[in-house]
Each structure stands twice: as C-alpha cells, then as structure tokens.
Amino acid sequence: MNSYSMKIAIASGKGGTGKTFVSTNLFQTLQKSGEKVIIVDCDAEEPNVAAFISGHEISNKTVFQHIPVIDTKKCQLCGKCFEYCQYNAIVFLPIVNFIKVIENLCHDCGACSYACQYGAITETEKPLGIVKTFLINESSCFIEARTDIGISSSVPVIKRAIKEAEGQSLVLLDSPPGISCPFIATVNFADYIVLVTEPTPFGLNDLKLSVETVQYMKKPFGVIINSVGIGDRAVYDWLEQNNIPLLMEIPFETRIARIYSEGKLLVDEDKTYLEQFINLYKIIRNGLFDQ
C-alpha cells in the first residue's frame, strides 16, 4: 500500500449507530481542510449520505445484470442448464415441455449459458440500480449507490460505485449495516475499517460480530463509540480486554441528535468538532502506516 491511496470504510453490525454521521462529518472536515477526498455511499438499499451532502450531479449510470433468455425453438429440453443453476432460477418440467427463467433468483453467473450446447441461451440486461456522482468542489466528490426497489442483492451496485472511485487518493466508504454480503462487498475494498458502535448490549453484541468478521478478513480496524452517556461500560471493558483501539468518543446530546435529524453536519454547526475529526483521520493514518 502506498501513501497515495487509502480507502477507509465506516461500518457497524448494528444499524443506526452513526455510520453515516461519522462518514459525512469526516468527509466534510477533510474536504474543508483542502484534502482531495471522495465519499461513496455503499448503503445502496437505504442511502442517506445525500441527506447531508449535496453537490452538482456529473454522472448517472444505470447498473445492469445479465439475465438469460431461452430460445424455445433452439432449446432441446435437455435440462443441463437447470442442472447447472445453483440458485433455482430455472424452472424445468420436462413432462409438460416447460422451461422458464425466474429473473429474481438469477445471480448472473453465466453457468446456464455455458451449459447449453444448442446455443439456445442468450443474455439480456436487467437494471439493478443507479450510481450517481456529484461534484462538491474541484477536488472532492460524492458517489451514491442506490438499488431499485424490489432488487434482492445490492452487491453489484455497491461494487460499481466503489469502482467509480478507483484511482483516487483518499476514499471514504459508508458501509451498509450487518455482516453479510453487502457489508463484505464494501469492506473488502477497504485498507482500514472504522467500526461505529454504541455503549449498549445490542451495540456490543453486534460489535463483536463485526470484529470477528474484519479479523477474519485480516483488515486493520478501530472503534468509535457514539452516544456516550447512555447504556453501560461493557463496550469499554471489552475493547480494553481485547486490545482494540478506541479512536473517538461522541457524546449523546439531544443537540447533536437534532442537528443530525435535520440533515445538517455537526462540524458545520460546532467548529470544535473539526479538530476531533482531523484527529480521527490522523490516528487512522498513523495506524495504517505504522504497520
């Protein structure tokens, strides 16, 4: 890894702990201090960065997946495509000469096309979502991944959005919640992961799951505790016992909750936080380059 390229993912197992709050405030702090920075909203099912950051739209790309189309004139009803498909996306009833693709179950793997010896399967495209890029100033931009409603997997849209940021020096990835495919697709690209939690039993339980996942992926990471003041000390004790770096603490204040609720950024409303987010960035950089 070189100093010209760094991707930081902001993630958490539990939803609503403040991922978007941290990533948008960190982005604003860095872009105001003259860094060339890109923020990618990877929570494609429920993208929220746009509530906090607005810019001039410079591109709008639809993301497609391939869907097989079976030409019933060429199809010999051999059933090989049905046999190859691991996702039950092909319904095959040989007794009644019936074969059909279930689009919603297709994972775009290409196995059925490979299986067909009669050239009966071609591929068409189906839209999954949109990746938009907004210019904030000459050097910074915001990229949003947004799935269409009813699409079950956001992964292809997330991957495309992150690709749009390829080659940029400093990229923040606002991750989807959870620890399954959409989260993995996001943090897989990251050089460093910031896990945001809250000092509650739910926060701790989901933090443990996230830590287990990022350790398995062998990624460096640190933790931010948000809403300090509610709940208990169990998260602190656990971090200490496991030697996990605590990067930052954000207090629970109705004032902060209100700023967030209105789609405003804390660092714009309270300048003392600018320094805290600069500090966060320095700790992450040092954490990465010390290794």
Partner 1 sequence: MDYSINEIVILSGKGGTGKTSLSAALATIGDKKSIADCDVDAANLYLILQPENYYKEVFVTGFKAAINKNICIDCGKCISYCRFEAISNIDGSVCISETNCDGCKLCTHVCPVEAITMKPSNKSRWYIGSFRNGTMVHARLYPGEDNSGKLVNVVREAAAIEAFKLENHTVIIDGPPGIGCPAISSVTGARMAVVVTEPTKSGLHDLKRILELISNFKVLVCVIINKFDLNKNISHEIDLYCKESQIPVIGRIPFDTNIVMAMVHCKSIVEWAPNSPASKEIYSIYQTIFKE
131 binds partner 1 (CB under 8 A): no
Q: Is 249 in the site for partner 1 (CB under 8 A)?
A: no
Site string for partner 1, 132-151 (x = CB under 8 A): ---------------x-xxx
Q: Determine how many CB atoms are found less than 10 A away from the CB of residue 263.
A: 13
CA distance 125 to 64: 6
**Rounded to an integer, what distance in angstroms lies between the CA atom of residue 189 and that of residue 72?**
41
127 part of the interface to partner 1, by CB under 8 A: no
Decide: 170 and 30 in contact? Cβ < 8 Å. yes
Residue 49 DSSP label: G
Applying CB under 8 A, does 212 fall inside the site for partner 1?
A: yes
Nearest to 204 by CA among 7, 13, 8: 13
Interface with partner 1 (CB under 8 A), residue from 73, 97, 138, 216 = 216
From candidates 67, 75, 109, 278, binder to partner 1 by CB under 8 A: 109
Number of residues that bind partner 1 (CB under 8 A): 57
Decide if residue 102 touches partner 1 (CB under 8 A): no
C-alpha 224/C-alpha 197 separation (Å) is: 6
Best CA proximity match to 207, nearest among 41, 19, 39: 19
Q: With binding defined as CB under 8 A, does residue 46 bind partner 1?
A: yes
14 binds partner 1 per the rule CB under 8 A:
yes
**Position 180 contacts partner 1 (CB under 8 A):** yes
User: What's the closest the beta carbon of residue 36 comes to partner 1, in angstroms?
Assistant: 27
Minimum distance, C-beta of residue 150 to partner 1, in the bound complex (Å): 6
**Stretch in the footprint of partner 1 (CB under 8 A) among 43-51, 166-174, 238-246, 274-282:** 43-51
Say how many Å lie between the first and final Cα of the chain, rounded.
Answer: 11
Q: What is the CA radius of gyration of the chain?
A: 22
Q: Characterise 88 by phi-psi region: left (phi > 0), alpha (psi -120 to 50), beta (else).
A: left
Interface with partner 1 includes 246 (CB under 8 A)? no
Which one of 135, 200, 246, 288 is in contact with partner 1 (CB under 8 A)?
A: 200
Quick one: which of 57, 125, 262, 275 contacts partner 1 (CB under 8 A)?
262
Tell whether residue 219 is a contact of partner 1 (CB under 8 A): no
Of the candidates 9, 7, 10, 11, the residue with the CA atom closest to the CA atom of residue 209: 11
C-beta of 115: minimal distance to partner 1 in Å?
Answer: 7
Residue 85 three-state SS: coil
Residue type, 244: I
Helices (H) and strands (E) in the chain — how many of each? 10, 11
> To the nearest whole angstrom, how small is the minimum distance from the Cβ of residue 105 to partner 1?
10
Q: What angle do CA 240, 242, 245 make, to 5 degrees?
A: 65
Cβ proximity to partner 1, 115 vs 283, nearer residue: 115
Q: Give me 28's structure tokens.
A: 């604003």
Of 11, 52, 4, 47, the C-alpha closest to 190 is: 11
Shortest distance, CB of residue 117 to partner 1, whole angstroms? 12
Q: Does 69 bind partner 1 (CB under 8 A)?
A: no
Residues contributing to the site for partner 1 (CB under 8 A): 13-17, 20, 45-46, 48, 51, 84, 86-87, 107-111, 114-115, 147, 149-154, 176-184, 188, 200-202, 205-206, 209, 212-213, 216-217, 230-232, 254, 257-258, 260-263
